[in-house]
Structure 1
Amino acid sequence: MKDQPAAGGTLFSWPVRVYYEDTDAGGLVYHSNYIKFMERARTEFLRSLGFELDALERDQRLLFAVRSLSIDYRRPARLSDWLTVTLDLESLRPASLAFVQRVLRGGELLCDGRVRVAALSADSFRPMAIPDFMFERLAAQWPGCPLPSGSDATRGV
């Protein structure tokens, strides 16, 4: 599906300070840490909607696992930089979410990527449908969200 950011810009952003532990010997952010920054932003996005990952596992037996990830590194971040990690919902499907994420310093794009997460049963680790209450809240964050084919007003499960 085509990238559809929320009207007026980014759906969610999360601030990150670069610490010594995030950098390599040259004082630049080590490449895998950008992925950690993006993970934190996704977790905080869900938290901002009232979804705690531990509660989803305990109460709904739902886990999310990264299914695919692509990332482009454009410019380095450095020790003590203040970064902003943004998140836009790219697609919402019955058992997965796809995000477009960016890491910026001021207005400068440092890194961007696409991440698809799969909804999994905590018991079997097999795909499961995102619960209706969660799916509906996610869809409400994205005006004009293209819903799966064959869906009613909220979902096609």
Structure 2
Amino acid sequence: MSSSSESPQLPPTTAIAAKTGLKATTEKWFEYSVRVQPHHTDYAGAVWHGTYLTWMETARVEYLRSIGIDFAELVKLGCDLPVVELSIRYHRALRLGEMAIIKTRMDEMTGVKMYWDCRIESSEKQELCVTAKITIVAIDPEKGKIMRQLPPAVQDALVKSL
């Protein structure tokens, strides 16, 4: 007998097939700057690893806003874009007071599945600190299911930005 507290699981990203035939790629990077504040760091003054994830999410949301997709409005339309896969590599820690540039781009879009690249660099030292590959997929948050296609306005904005 299974527990009723178990939450439904999304299928692995390899099971998400493109249903619209839409496929696009880009080389353009969106840049977002941040200064390392005390609340971003651990007790040693180095950026805590989870902070990098927050910065990457903020940069993606700001990128979407810059092309005309307001995330709050997107959710009101019945479309959410959760991370379903993440690979991150830490090259060097950022320290308290340093400026960082978070660079993000949608590398590829296939149907409702989007692949993002992210780079976090020290702006003063011009050093690479973090690289990441992120996969997000459009879901209907009420149904908890993967959408068949993106809302047309969202799809148009993403294609135009590529």
TM-score when scaled to structure 2? 0.79
Instruction: Please give the alpha-carbon distance, in whole angstroms, between the structure 2 residues aligned to 1:5 and 1:104.
Output: 20
Question: Is 1:67 matched up with 2:84?
Answer: yes
3-state DSSP of counterpart to 1:64: coil
Match of 2:151 in 1: 131
Larger radius of gyration: 2
Contact 2:138 2:146 in 1 (8 A): yes
Match of 1:115 in 2: 134
Runs of 4+ deviating beyond 4 Å: none
Match of 2:99 in 1: 82
Identity %: 26
Q: What does 1:1-157 align with in structure 2 at a 5 Å threshold?
A: 5-6=26-27, 10-58=28-76, 60-106=77-123, 107-128=126-147, 129-142=149-162
Contact 1:96 1:130 in 2 (8 A): no
Instruction: Please give the alpha-carbon distance, in whole angstroms, between the structure 1 residues aligned to 2:156 and 2:67.
Output: 11
- Give CA-to-partner distance per residue, 1:65-103, whole Å, 9 cap, x none: 100000000011000111000012111122121100000
Match of 1:148 in 2: none
Aligned residues: 135
- Give CA-to-partner distance per residue, 1:90-149, whole Å, 9 cap, x none: 11122121100000012211000000111010211111121122112212222xxxxxxx
- Give CA-to-partner distance per residue, 1:46-81, whole Å, 9 cap, x none: 1111111111111x2111110000000001100011
Report the RMSD for the aligned CA atoms in angstroms.
Answer: 1.2
TM-score when scaled to structure 1? 0.82
Instruction: Please give the alpha-carbon distance, in whole angstroms, between the structure 1 residues aligned to 2:153 and 2:49.
Output: 36
Instruction: Please give the alpha-carbon distance, in whole angstroms, between the structure 2 residues aligned to 1:134 and 1:54.
Output: 13
Contact 2:47 2:95 in 1 (8 A): yes
